Amino acid sequence: MLSGLSQFLGNQTIGFETDINDSITRTWEIKNGNLVIGDYKATDIKVKQKSNLTKVPIVVIIGPVTKSAGSMVAIAFKGRVNTIFIGEPTADGYTTSNGYFQFASNLTLNFATNYVADRKKQIYKPNLNPDISITQGNNFHNLLNDSKIKAAIKWLTKK
């Protein structure tokens, strides 16, 4: 997902993983449009059109059903210029990354082993909070009447 958003994130560090003592254990970076976590290149895509979209205004709408991969994407946008978070706090306990442990040749389990931090090294335990809190007015059947969408449009039109 993050590689697909690389034109908005730019070729740079976009986050970190931290251990129980809040020490950085791995870095998340975008390099030539690809997500690199530590020494692991998570994707291998070729960016054909290189647009500089790193400063275009973006609203990230979050809420209690934002979790897991959604939380990771949101954290990648934290600290980005011209970016604001609108909505409600994300689900508790989903701002972690996993470690994989092999117990036998046919048994591998993954456990939450690290918390995730944004590009400015702000660690998110247990969730992310919006810059503008809106807890009422959801309208999933008519998004133009949704209070969070309205706030996003209002913010974007001022940019």
What is the C-alpha separation between 56 and 66, in angstroms, rounded? 23
With respect to residue 1, please indicate whether it lies within any of the assigned structural domains. Answer: no
pTM of the prediction?
Answer: 0.90
With respect to residue 45, please indicate whether it lies within any of the assigned structural domains. Answer: yes
> 40 pairs with which residues across the strands?
37
Number of domains observed in the structure of the chain? 1
**Residue type (1 letter), 155:** W
With respect to residue 94, please indicate whether it lies within any of the assigned structural domains. Answer: yes
43-97: pLDDT as tens digits: 999 988 778 899 999 999 999 999 999 999 999 999 999 999 999 999 998 899 9
DSSP for 114-136?
EEEEETT--B-SS----SEE--S
- Domain of residue 64 covers 6-157
**Residue type (1 letter), 21:** N
For residue 87, give the H/E element and its range. strand 83-87
Which pLDDT score is estimated for 122?
Answer: 97
